[in-house]
Structure 1
């Protein structure tokens, strides 16, 4: 199953929450841009420029409306993002757990129980978190696009430099995608091995104590934990390195823009208000490549999470992981039907005729087994 298809599937599960979150974040970002326009008018007013469009009252009104819009939209964004996270996480965990319960009791898990717990705990947020990162990218593109449009109207030569970090970030993310997937997969597998060994230790405590094998058990646990620490450090360090590169690429582009803006001011093509607006909007432009680069890196990591979760559902189609269904997050749980039993339902005899089973890809097994077990025998 493709990662993008899984992301779209969980978005379709709670589309209104996702759309409201995107809309709220867009309104919040646009509301943050309004003070930049107000600052432009304010400094033009102070410098006596002829391009003043509103007076001091208009500047105050712009600040007030922007603040109110930011407050309401931020409240809605935080509320919807939590509901989206919890509902989608419950859906993914329910689907995985339901598949495990539907399998025969003698059929083992693809990995140890500890490894399965690791996938329930660590891989689920990797998928539904990517949907919210997508929301942030949409918000960044729209708000950054508005900022770029305004900046292009002021000076298109300077604004073109804002796109240079975007190209650099895209190239870096494409080069690093294999390492991103490899480090994240190794980190998750090492974490699962530690969790699996812990589960085995806790289920065999008495045997370990009787055999006086505490030291022999602690030694492999220490080795696995050290390996887990190394892989987690490598994964986190590489992710932090990418983030640092993305941020510095944005800051480098910001420096170029400021240098060119300084020259434009000396030429007289910039006003003081234009400089204030340009400086204020640089943050929106610089955050755009950072968010895009971060989303590209997290997309690769989300692919690892999808692969691990579908691997836990061995024998089921990959789409079963994101299959929509009720999670009963509101109200009472559905009642369990009670069927009264009478004497006629009592088991009198257990009989099996012609029981046959062969192991997969093998002729070994049992054939034509007849079994009869009366009650009380």
Structure 2
């Protein structure tokens, strides 16, 4: 079954919880945009650039209302999101258990108990984390569309500089996809080898004692753990490298934006409220 089709089937398992989670999380994702608009209007009223009839206390009240609404959305998400998460996890583990009980050659499974453990623990969590991205997808898309449209009304060049880092991050992640798969697979294989050996070691305790092979078993266990340590270190290091590139591109873009905004403010094109909101 393809990834997209499997994801749709899982999302349809508890559609009510999923839709409510999207609603609450989407509202939380849109709050920064609303907060920016309120802050812009607030600073404009202080400098006399606001529309007639507005005053700072109006926007202070709006800011408080937005923050209260955000807390209500987060509280609702805290109620429905864990229920959805554990429902999907329980379904996946139940299906895995049913599949194990129906296997015709159980010896093959008993010799790979470490891999089975990884499937129940790590793979299930990875699948649910992948599905969770659909929760934030809609809110982030709406937020990005509104933010880009609003910024384009202010200045097209600054908007273009803001979007460039996101495009570069997508290109870099796509180019590193092969290495992400390679390092993650190596880490999972090394983890399965360690857990399999632990299972075999406990099953053969008497044989190890009779043959006085304790030192050899411990040495082999150390080698497996060292291999797991190296593969995990490489995987985590590569992941942190990608995160660092993402964050630093954003920081560089923020610096360039501030320089451009400062030039526009000096020429009188921007009001004071535009700078905090962007």
Name the TM-score class by shorter chain: over 0.9
2:41 aligns with 41
Unaligned runs of 5+ in 2: none
| 1:288-316 superposed Cα distances (whole Å, 9 cap, x missing partner) | xxxxxxxxxxxxxxxxxxxxxxxxxxxxx
Matches within 5 A, 1:284-295: none
1:87 and 2:87 equivalent?
Answer: yes
CA contact (8 A) 1:25 1:77 kept: yes
1:298 aligns with none
CA contact (8 A) 2:114 2:193 kept: yes
CA contact (8 A) 2:42 2:60 kept: no
* Matched positions, count: 278
| 1:215-252 superposed Cα distances (whole Å, 9 cap, x missing partner) | 11111111001000111111111111111111112222
Distance 2:52 2:254 in 1: 27
1:130 aligns with 130
Distance 1:111 1:54 in 2: 73
Matches within 5 A, 1:1-377: 1-51=1-51, 54-104=54-104, 108-109=108-109, 112-278=112-278
CA drift of 1:166 comes to 1.8
Structure 1 residues 31 and 102, CA gap change in structure 2 (3 angstroms): same
Distance 1:67 1:259 in 2: 30
CA drift of 1:208 comes to 1.6
Distance 1:160 1:53 in 2: 34
CA contact (8 A) 1:45 1:52 kept: no
Unaligned runs of 5+ in 1: 279-377
Structure 1 residues 157 and 52, CA gap change in structure 2 (3 angstroms): farther
Distance 2:133 2:36 in 1: 26
Distance 2:25 2:161 in 1: 26
Structure 1 residues 77 and 238, CA gap change in structure 2 (3 angstroms): same
CA drift of 1:183 comes to 0.7
CA drift of 1:53 comes to 6.3
CA contact (8 A) 1:34 1:62 kept: no
CA drift of 1:157 comes to 2.5
CA drift of 1:50 comes to 4.8
RMSD, aligned α-carbons: 1.8
Distance 2:144 2:53 in 1: 24
User: SS of 1:272's equivalent?
Assistant: coil
When the two structures are superposed, what TM-score results if normalisation uses the length of structure 1?
A: 0.70
CA contact (8 A) 1:187 1:235 kept: yes
CA contact (8 A) 1:7 1:131 kept: yes
Distance 2:254 2:145 in 1: 16
Q: If each structure's helix is expressed as a fraction of its own residues, which one has the higher value?
A: 2
Structure showing greater radius of gyration is 1
Structure 1 residues 32 and 55, CA gap change in structure 2 (3 angstroms): same
CA contact (8 A) 1:162 1:257 kept: yes
1:295 aligns with none
Distance 1:252 1:2 in 2: 38
| 1:260-307 superposed Cα distances (whole Å, 9 cap, x missing partner) | 1111111211001112212xxxxxxxxxxxxxxxxxxxxxxxxxxxxx
Q: If each structure's strand is expressed as a fraction of its own residues, which one has the higher value?
A: 1
